[in-house]
Amino acid sequence: MPSPIIRIDTITKAYGPLTVLDGLSMEVMPGEKLALIGPSGSGKTTILRILMTLEKINGGHIEVEGQQLYHMEKAGGLVDADERHLQKMREKIGMVFQHFNLFPHKCVLDNITLAPMLTKGVARAVAEKRAMELLEMVGMADKAKSMPAQLSGGQKQRVAIARALALSPKIMLFDEVTSALDPELVEEVLNVMRKLAAETDMTMLLVTHEMGFAHDFADRVLFFDRGKIVEQGKPDDIFRNPKQERTQAFLRKIIAAGHRV
Amino acid sequence: MIDWSGYIALILDGAWVTIKLTIMGSALALVVAFAAGLGRMSRFFAVRTLATVYIEFFRGTSIFVQLFWVYFVLPFAGITLTPLQAGVLALGLNVGAYGAEVVRGAVRAIGREQHEACVALNLGRYHRMRYIILPQALPLMLPTFGNNAIELLKGTAVVSLISLSDMTFQAQVVRAQTGNTLVPFATILVLYFAMAWAISAGVRWLERRATRGLDGVRV
């Protein structure tokens, strides 16, 4: 039995008086594809942001590959991680955002090569070769010299995925990556992710409102509500046969809103 | 009948002093603006405080007083500057204080999502600023930097107070010697305007360069 790649241990997160996560614990196995679903404000995006170190936690511990994410060992005890430790840990994790967050002043190719060159000292020629392979994979090789403003939303998101992959993370976080897209552009991004799931053994955490995709993509689905995991299990069990009242209510609402399950 | 050629040459000598002051003062102001503007956002309290004190002090006192301090008071502390050095220092520090706020405002205007993308790509603070934030903030700074440079150009006239023969000073000389006010002052009016126009044109050119490709137009 391999050990979990991510171990979240009773973490809490509050914004002022608003508690978003209250003693949450969960584990993710290497290579596992996880879908996090639930109503807005249920804390699912916050978990991804915490794993990417975009938000600090107020309590608890997180381990990634057996190493503390927000803490480091010093004189036998655990102290808060410094920037150097965080940088080392971030190498393991990549993230794709709802609004792409491409660098508007850099062409597609430079968007992808910048981080490997700066953070890992990869030579330009090597970085560009790898970037072109990734662009090929996401079907964007012909746009390597385009500026982000010249691309559609779906194209931007595919570039953003390639950009995150360029750092070869072990864990990829997808935060509502199709929510900002026009409906006809959703499928091209989902196709890239299907391919990615099939061709790599990366661990993937996906926050989504695309229930049909979550069903096909995930090994395990976690339903969140008010900062807690209400129910989790195999996609078929969660979507076809949810046990909890709140899961049933949520899925009914989603179906009523016209989403395919 | 007055022979104007000699007098116009005098004014042109002054114009050269004005140009030198403007260019060197602007260069100093630019350096100081970035140092203080970024310093004000530093994570170190001492750096933030130093930058804030500098900015508030130089915005809050007049260039006239600052110039007198630099030229007449600093020698008591053992620092003696030539009039040109004193002029450049006072103008650069004065305008740099305004520029610092421009730098800070423009950097602040770059959205949180750009910072978050940098964290996700593991870019450190320096790389983040150097390659992502500043290149996007620079086009936002340029129009106001242009304003500041023109303000500095017009501010150079105060240096005549510390015996530097800039354009305005020379015009006064010509007026005193010829008794004619219209010709020297019409001349410097045109010259100041031409210099300001050159600054505007230069900044517009820089703006076009800096924003190339950002609007989705193929480059």
Q: What are the residue boundaries of the structural domains of chain A, listed by start?
A: 1-92+171-261, 96-168
CA distances from B216 to A104, A120, A147, A161, A222 (A): 9, 30, 7, 21, 40
| Residue range of the domain that includes B138 | 4-210
Instruction: Show the tokens assigned to A232.
Output: 């989790």
Residue type, B75: P
Answer whether residue B44 is part of any domain: yes
Kindly report the CATH number assigned to the domain that includes residue B200. Answer: 1.10.3720.10
Q: What is the mean pLDDT of residues B79-88?
A: 92
pLDDT band at residue A253 under the 50/70/90 scheme: confident
What tens digit of pLDDT does each residue of A202-229 get? 999 999 988 989 999 999 999 999 889 9
| Cβ–Cβ pairs < 8 A, chains A and B | 70
Q: Model pTM?
A: 0.87
Q: What is the mean pLDDT of residues A98-104?
A: 95
Answer whether residue B95 is part of any domain: yes
A31 touches A217 (CB < 8 A): no
Answer whether residue B215 is part of any domain: no
User: Mean pLDDT, chain A, as a whole number?
Assistant: 92
Give A40 or B148, the one with higher predicted confidence.
Answer: B148
A1-92+171-261: which CATH architecture?
3-Layer(aba) Sandwich (3.40)
Answer whether residue B116 is part of any domain: yes
Per-residue pLDDT, B161? 85
Per-residue pLDDT, B218? 42
Enumerate residues 6+ apart whose C-beta is below 8 A from B175. Answer: B181, B184, B185
A233 touches A49 (CB < 8 A): no
Count other Cβ atoms within 10 Å, centred on residue A20.
Answer: 20
Interchain pair A101, B114: CB under 8 A? yes
Q: What is the mean pLDDT of residues B160-169?
A: 89
Nearest to B120 among A52, A83, A107 (CB): A52
Interchain pair B121, A104: CB under 8 A? no
Interchain pair B122, A91: CB under 8 A? yes
Domain count, chain B: 1
Nearest to A94 among B116, B120, B132 (CB): B120
Q: What is the mean pLDDT of residues A124-146?
A: 95
pLDDT at B144 over 60: yes
ipTM of the complex: 0.91
Answer whether residue B219 is part of any domain: no
Per-residue pLDDT, B219? 39
What tens digit of pLDDT does each residue of A170-185 get? 999 999 999 999 988 9
Residue type, A75: A
pLDDT band at residue B217 under the 50/70/90 scheme: very low
